[in-house]
């Protein structure tokens, strides 16, 4: 890439980032967070429908560099920065996300049955903590509608689908919960680039039963019986003690799990990075309060799994340095939501461009060479 290209992208990102922080963010942050999320989804979906607006988004946000490209499981990732599950719950943004600069995206979480989610309000901002408090409760259109929406579509980036258990008393019993996951998994499998089994939603009826090793064993055995031809990822909770985590890893390594997403939201309010007082008691926290928890999890999984699975680092990534830290600890791919909300959509290309600089500084020619470097 030429110096001119790099300089143009830097200046463009500074202008867009400044405009976002000075103009758009104050407007957005003065309004109800869920309404802003819905408005952004509608805008992104509309932009994705037209070639001219897709081109405009590319001009405003794209960035490419060969040192960011990786191929895993036969999927080509043009860069390691993906959209985490929870932003595009109903697969409305798949046409615009590549133009915003994402290297991959995860839809959902999608459940066996359509779900309205928990009663409102269910999304809050914690600006001092650079965090969101999330209590959506797996609002989504259900696996059948979402699979139908994606059938026959060709994507420009890998599109994974996260499946979770329907938020309802009817799925609390173990066999019913497994049947619900199996229905969602089977329904979305053929349209997904990979499928994530989300066992760590903190906001659903009956809690997180499949973080129990015995129940996880049953769930993953049921997934094995579906003989997936797509990669299977497992999304881990943020708040496990090391012994609990090892029990889950030991169970999962005897099943078909190709990757681990580290991690989901944290439930703990007694976290030094939660600055606000009187945080509502329901819901899980994203952003900076999850960062160190996710980093510890990545490190632990990398050492314990010894390169036998791909790790996706997720939680509190706002800058290239944040992403690079996760890569050095063992993550091959990164996911994010909250950093984009606090810093603006240009953050994806800012992070990718910054990663290229950090890789070059450390003598790497490809991002894959830096994965796990902190342990060597």
Contacting positions for ligand FMN (CB under 6 A): 84-86, 108-109, 123, 132, 134, 136, 138, 162, 198, 201, 235, 264-265, 286-287, 290, 314-317, 336-339
Backbone angles phi, psi at 310, to 5 degrees: -80, 140
What gap in Å lies between CA 298 and CA 296, rounded to an integer? 6
Nearer to ligand FMN, 79 or 338 (CB): 338
CB of 76 to ligand FMN, least distance (A): 23
Count of residues in the chain: 376
Nearest Cα to Cα of residue 144 among 192, 204, 187: 187
CB of 23 to ligand FMN, least distance (A): 23
CB of 131 to ligand FMN, least distance (A): 8
Nearer to ligand FMN, 315 or 364 (CB): 315
CB of 266 to ligand FMN, least distance (A): 9
Q: Name 71's bridge partners.
A: 76
Which residue has the CB atom at the shortest distance from ligand FMN? 86
CB of 56 to ligand FMN, least distance (A): 25
Distance between alpha carbon 172 and the CA centroid of its chain, in Å?
A: 25
* 27 Cβ contact list (under 8 Å, min separation 6): none
CB of 370 to ligand FMN, least distance (A): 20
CB of 376 to ligand FMN, least distance (A): 26
Nearer to ligand FMN, 62 or 118 (CB): 118
- CB 108, CB 179: distance < 8 Å: no
Nearer to ligand FMN, 183 or 235 (CB): 235
Backbone angles phi, psi at 313, to 5 degrees: -90, 130
Nearer to ligand FMN, 78 or 323 (CB): 323
Q: Name 196's bridge partners.
A: 162, 233
Nearer to ligand FMN, 5 or 29 (CB): 29
Nearer to ligand FMN, 16 or 161 (CB): 161
From the CA atom positions of the chain, what is the Rg in Å?
19
């Amino acid at each position: 890439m030429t110096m001119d290209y790099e300089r143009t992208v830097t200046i463009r990102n500074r202008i867009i980032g400044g405009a976002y922080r000075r103009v758009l963010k104050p407007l957005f942050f003065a309004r109800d967070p869920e309404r802003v999320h819905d408005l952004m989804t509608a805008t992104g979906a509309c932009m994705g429908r037209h070639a001219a607006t897709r081109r405009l988004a590319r001009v405003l946000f794209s960035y490419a560099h060969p040192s960011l490209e990786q191929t895993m499981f036969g999927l080509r990732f043009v860069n390691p920065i993906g959209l985490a599950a929870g932003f595009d719950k109903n697969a409305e943004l798949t046409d615009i996300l590549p133009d915003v600069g994402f290297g991959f995206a995860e839809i959902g979480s999608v459940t066996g049955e359509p779900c309205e989610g928990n009663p409102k309000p269910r999304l809050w901002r914690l600006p001092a903590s650079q965090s969101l408090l999330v209590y959506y409760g797996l609002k989504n259109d259900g696996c059948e509608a979402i699979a139908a929406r994606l059938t026959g579509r060709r994507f420009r980036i890998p599109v994974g689908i996260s499946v979770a258990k329907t938020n309802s008393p009817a799925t609390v019993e173990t066999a019913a919960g497994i049947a619900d996951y199996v229905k969602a998994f089977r329904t979305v499998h053929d349209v997904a680039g990979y499928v994530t089994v989300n066992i760590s939603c903190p906001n659903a009826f009956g809690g997180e039963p499949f973080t129990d090793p015995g129940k996880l064993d049953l769930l993953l055995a049921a997934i094995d019986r579906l003989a997936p031809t797509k990669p299977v990822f497992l999304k881990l909770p943020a708040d496990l003690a090391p012994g609990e985590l090892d029990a889950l890893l030991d169970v999962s390594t005897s099943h078909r799990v190709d990757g681990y997403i580290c991690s989901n939201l944290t439930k703990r309010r007694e976290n030094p990075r939660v600055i606000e007082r009187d945080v509502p008691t329901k819901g899980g926290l994203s952003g900076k309060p999850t960062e160190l928890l996710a980093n510890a999890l990545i490190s632990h999984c990398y050492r314990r799994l010894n390169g036998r699975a791909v790790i996706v680092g997720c939680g509190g990534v706002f800058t290239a340095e944040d992403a690079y830290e996760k890569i050095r600890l063992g993550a091959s791919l990164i996911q994010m939501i909250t950093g984009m909300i606090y810093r603006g959509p240009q953050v994806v290309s800012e992070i990718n461009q910054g990663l290229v600089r950090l890789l070059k500084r450390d003598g790497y020619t490809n991002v894959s060479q830096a994965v796990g470097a902190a342990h060597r």
